[in-house]
């Protein structure tokens, strides 16, 4: 499988009308967070089906897709990497992990991050040292920071909350709304597994959490508890 073949499949499914909508939705205009990104107009399930049909594509070809101007080409490359990761040897998993983080600045929208990093970065680090996430959190790149935060959902699903809470504390003062949402989302996921742990965290940090992050975090709380924490702001 080659990058040229995969791209030809994506191009054959292009929907210009949908592309216009997606470019507005994903904020690709001047000065917006995804300025200059170009969409073909494919919905994610369609891109995912193309990825699964081409999951034998080698890393060198995936790199060509990551270098593409097309959003869906990069998404397809990442989804193929996730597919390969599922059955890869430990050595090949390391290569896929390095490939992913080596392209982090090309994983430049929240959908690219959110649908892939838990299944590759998070899964790879599940039984390993996680200091790389803290390095990403210190980055000047919004997308590297979001990868750091959202990858921890894999740990949460395994009832490990320490890194999520530590990264939430580190990133809660971020200036961008996309990070406020990511922090709040991960805190909410902690609360689904362990309400007591989340409540203890909120008792300490609710006054410092951005309002958006706090609202996300307490979404599943009873109304009286929601109001209790909202009044701390």
Look up the CATH number of the domain holding residue 15. 1.25.10.90
Contact status, residue 75 vs residue 104, Cβ threshold 8 Å = no
The Cα–Cα gap between 223 and 208 comes to 21
Is 18 inside any structural domain?
yes
User: What is the reported pLDDT for 65?
Assistant: 98
CA 3 → CA 8, 11, 88, 116, distances in Å? 8, 12, 20, 19
Q: Are residues 16 and 109 in the same domain?
A: yes
Q: Are residues 26 and 88 in the same domain?
A: yes
Which ranges constitute the DSSP H helices of 67-210?
71-86, 90-102, 110-114, 117, 123-124, 131-137, 142-150, 153-157, 162-171, 177-193, 195-205
Q: Average pLDDT for consecutive 10-residue bins of the chain (233 residues)? A: 94 94 91 90 95 96 97 98 97 98 96 98 98 97 98 98 98 95 98 97 96 96 94 82
User: What is the reported pLDDT for 39?
Assistant: 95
Point out the domain boundary residue: 116, 147, 172. 116
Q: Are residues 107 and 170 in the same domain?
A: no
Point out the domain boundary residue: 89, 116, 143. 116
Query: Which domain covers residue 59, as residue numbers?
Result: 1-116
User: What is the reported pLDDT for 232?
Assistant: 84
Q: Are residues 105 and 1 in the same domain?
A: yes
Q: Are residues 2 and 99 in the same domain?
A: yes
Q: Are residues 111 and 1 in the same domain?
A: yes
Q: Are residues 111 and 3 in the same domain?
A: yes
User: How many domains in the chain?
Assistant: 2
Is 146 inside any structural domain?
no
């Amino acid at each position: 499988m080659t990058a040229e073949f995969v791209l030809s499949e994506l191009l054959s499914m292009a929907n210009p009308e949908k592309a216009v909508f997606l470019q507005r939705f994903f904020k690709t205009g001047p000065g917006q967070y995804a300025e200059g990104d170009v969409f073909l107009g494919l919905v994610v399930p369609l891109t995912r089906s193309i990825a699964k049909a081409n999951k034998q594509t080698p890393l060198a070809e995936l790199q060509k897709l990551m270098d593409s101007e097309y959003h869906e080409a990069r998404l397809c490359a990442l989804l193929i990497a996730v597919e390969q990761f599922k059955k890869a040897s430990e050595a090949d998993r390391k290569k896929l992990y390095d490939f992913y983080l080596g392209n982090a600045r090309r994983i430049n929208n929240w959908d690219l991050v959110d649908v892939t990093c838990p299944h590759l970065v998070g899964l790879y680090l599940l039984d390993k040292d996680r200091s790389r996430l803290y390095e990403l959190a210190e980055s000047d790149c919004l997308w590297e920071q979001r990868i750091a935060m959202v990858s921890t959902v894999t740990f949460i699903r395994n009832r490990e909350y320490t890194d999520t809470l530590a990264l939430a504390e580190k990133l809660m003062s971020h200036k961008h709304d996309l990070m406020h949402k990511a922090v709040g989302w991960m805190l909410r996921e902690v609360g689904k597994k362990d309400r007591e742990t989340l409540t203890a965290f909120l008792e300490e940090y609710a006054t410092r959490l951005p309002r958006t992050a706090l609202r996300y975090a307490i979404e599943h709380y009873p109304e009286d508890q929601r109001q209790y924490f909202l009044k701390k702001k």
